[in-house]
Structures are given as C-alpha cells and as structure tokens.
C-alpha cells in the first residue's frame, strides 16, 4: 500500500488462546509493576516463544499493525515472515549498493533479507536481536537461503556492540517500542551511523494516553501496545539526540475494540480511553545524521 499519511481504521478480533493468536492482546495477564529488566525479560520470553513455536503473545501472524505487503519486495521470503512488523522500513530507507546496513531487532531476518538485495555483493547487512532464539532462527534462515552478506548477532540495542560510525543506514521494524529506554537506543543509532547516514524505522506510538491498566501490563508491552510513547515524545527524543530532518513517512491507525481491552482495563478505564481521543498508531519515521 503506497502513499504518505495514510489513516486506516481496522477492527481487531479477539481470541482466548495464544496458540491461535488473532490480536496483539490475546493473552490473559494481571497488571505487574515493570522495571527495565522485567520488561526486557517479558519481551525476551515472548519473542523466544514466537521464534521456537510460532506462538507467543508478540505481534501475531495476523498482525493488525502492518497493513502493507512485502509481496512485491525483492528479497522477500515468505518462509521467514513471522508477521511481527508494523511497516516496511526498507521500502523508503534509500539503501544503495555498497551500503552497510544495521537492522535493530532483526527477528527471523525478513527486513535484513530485503536489505541485502539492495546493498549488493559489495555491501553488508547486520541484524541485532535481544533474543537468542531469534538470532538462531535468522542464522538458520540465512544458511538455508545461501546468503553470505548478512549476519545476525545477539545484543541489546540500548548498548550496540559496534564502533562509532559503522553503518550507512539503520532500519528497525516494530522493535524500539518494546525497549524501556528509547533515548539510549536513539543515541546508539546516532553513534553507529556514519556522517550523512540515515535511519528508517517503523514503530508504534500513541496520540494521547493509554489507560494505566494497559500500560502496566507486561503482556501488552510484549505485544506492542503499552510500551508505546506519544508521537511528540518519540519525535522530540530523536531530535534531542542529534538527528535532523526527522519526519513521518507513513501512518496507519489501529482501533482497539472494547472486547480487545476488556481483559486489561475496567469499563471505567475503557470509557476514559474512548473519551480522551487517544489513538494507537503505526508510523514509519526517518531522520539523518549530518
């Protein structure tokens, strides 16, 4: 689906079983008090389950956040598509032959494999993921497909294991939302980019505030909702760490039904959410280091 600033309202269907996920909020959970390490462990656990079983409570294979299709993208391999994204950052990342590209939260490798076709044999693509199981899966996929200009490393994107100015482009797809300290991630992106380099990131943000019960839910956090910050905070933080020409390239709105929210919030909190005008939105951003 092409074009800028697209707003698409969709209705989510609920499911009671994580092995048959229909929405990002499929799992029952009790609100928990989250700290940085607790958040990371929840995310690691959920996405490890997705990597090994195809289940879990991450963004599901029937992912309502991503309404774009990879089908026409060179390098797309359906066998590695776990349905975890909320956009196609490679589509507008201006990746060129010979570039060195970094994919943050590379999962099973879908975006890295698209990027490798753009950099050609003289370029490289490096994927970093928090979850060992995802890294193993991506490496297995690369071996099966015979790709030799892409590699996958386990690492925390708040502390990237690379020297300064190592990459021409950085991409990420529905991952930074899951990280507790987004400013650290953005600062690491800025450090790892070469002068004149740029990032293109698809992620989830909020216009307004979610009910406290949803924001406090670890299950919802690992499912791409309650980790989101506001659009204004996201953009301002990118600018604060030094990025220029930060702009939104694409936009999809996701409408959560009362049934979707019922397991996480009380009727009063849901009503408060509705009356506030808050929205959950999938955006694709870009910005440059100059």
In this model, does residue 9 exceed pLDDT 50? no
Q: How many angstroms separate the CA atoms of 262 and 265, rounded?
A: 6
Return the closest-CA partner of residue 42 out of 225, 206, 242. Answer: 225
In this model, does residue 10 exceed pLDDT 80? no
Average pLDDT of the residues of the chain:
79
Position 49 in a domain: yes
Average pLDDT on 5-14 reads: 29
What distances in angstroms separate CA 219 from CA 26, 101, 176, 184, 213, one per listed residue? Answer: 9, 31, 16, 23, 11
* pLDDT tens figures, 209-231: 877 877 776 566 666 676 788 99
Q: What percent of the chain has pLDDT over 70?
A: 72
Phi-psi region of 92 (alpha: psi -120 to 50; beta: other; left: phi over 0): alpha
* Residue 257 DSSP code: P
Q: What is the pLDDT of residue 71?
A: 67
What angle is formed at CA 69 by the lines to CA 109 and CA 82, rounded to 5 degrees?
A: 35
In this model, does residue 99 exceed pLDDT 50? yes
Q: How many angstroms separate the CA atoms of 287 and 91, rounded?
A: 15
Judge if pTM exceeds 0.85: no
Average pLDDT on 188-206 reads: 96
More reliable by pLDDT, 195 or 263: 195
* Residue 230 DSSP code: B
Position 13 in a domain: no
Q: What is the pLDDT of residue 38?
A: 65
Return the closest-CA partner of residue 63 out of 87, 89, 27, 45. Answer: 87
Segment (H or E) for 152? strand 150-154
- Residue 2's pLDDT band, with cuts at 50, 70 and 90, is very low
More reliable by pLDDT, 241 or 15: 241
* β-strand partners of 124: 100
In angstroms and rounded to an integer, the radius of gyration of the C-alpha atoms of the chain is 18
Return the closest-CA partner of residue 280 out of 252, 239, 240, 243. Answer: 252
Position 237 in a domain: yes
Position 87 in a domain: yes
Q: Which residue shows structure tokens 């760490």? A: 241
267 three-state secondary structure: helix
Q: What is the pLDDT of residue 19?
A: 31
Position 169 in a domain: yes
- Residue 20's pLDDT band, with cuts at 50, 70 and 90, is very low
* pLDDT tens figures, 123-168: 999 999 999 998 999 999 999 888 989 999 999 999 999 999 999 9
In this model, does residue 285 exceed pLDDT 80? yes
Position 2 in a domain: no
β-pairing, 244-254 vs 279-288, is antiparallel
Q: What is the pLDDT of residue 284?
A: 94
| φ, ψ dihedrals at 220, nearest 5° | -65, -35
Segment (H or E) for 194? strand 193-207
Instruction: Residue 264: give its domain's CATH number.
Output: 3.40.50.150
How many folded domains does the chain comprise?
1
* pLDDT tens figures, 54-92: 644 444 444 555 556 676 677 777 666 766 778 899 999
Q: What is the pLDDT of residue 66?
A: 55
Position 8 in a domain: no
* pLDDT tens figures, 267-282: 998 888 888 888 888 8
CB count within 10 Å of CB 271 equals: 13
Q: What is the pLDDT of residue 57?
A: 44
Return the closest-CA partner of residue 113 out of 154, 159, 79. Answer: 79
Q: Which domain holds residue 254?
A: 18-288
């Amino acid at each position: 689906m092409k074009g800028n600033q697209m707003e698409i309202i969709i209705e989510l269907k609920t499911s009671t079983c994580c092995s048959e996920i229909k929405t990002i909020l499929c799992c029952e959970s009790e609100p928990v008090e989250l700290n940085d390490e607790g958040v990371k462990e929840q995310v690691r656990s959920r996405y490890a389950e997705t990597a090994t079983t195809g289940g879990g409570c991450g963004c599901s294979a029937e992912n309502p956040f991503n309404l774009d299709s990879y089908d026409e993208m060179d390098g797309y391999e359906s066998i590695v598509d776990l349905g975890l994204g909320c956009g196609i950052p490679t589509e507008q990342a201006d990746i060129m032959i010979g570039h060195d590209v970094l994919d943050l939260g590379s999962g099973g490798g879908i975006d890295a494999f698209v990027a490798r076709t753009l950099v050609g044999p003289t370029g490289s693509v490096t994927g970093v993921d928090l979850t060992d199981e995802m890294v193993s899966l991506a490496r297995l996929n690369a071996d099966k497909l015979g790709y030799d200009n892409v590699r996958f490393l386990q690492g925390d994107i708040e502390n990237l294991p690379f020297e300064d100015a190592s990459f021409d482009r950085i991409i990420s797809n529905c991952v930074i939302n899951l990280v507790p300290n987004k400013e650290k991630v953005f600062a690491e992106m800025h450090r790892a980019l070469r002068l004149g380099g740029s990032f293109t990131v698809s992620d989830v943000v909020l216009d307004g505030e979610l009910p406290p019960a949803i924001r406090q839910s670890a299950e919802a956090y690992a499912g791409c909702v309650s980790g989101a910050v506001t659009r204004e905070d996201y953009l301002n933080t990118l600018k604060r760490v030094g990025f220029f020409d930060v702009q939104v390239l694409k936009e999809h709105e996701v409408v959560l039904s009362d049934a979707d929210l019922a397991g996480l919030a009380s009727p009063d909190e849901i009503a408060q959410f509705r009356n506030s005008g808050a929205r959950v939105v999938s955006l694709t951003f870009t910005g440059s280091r100059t």
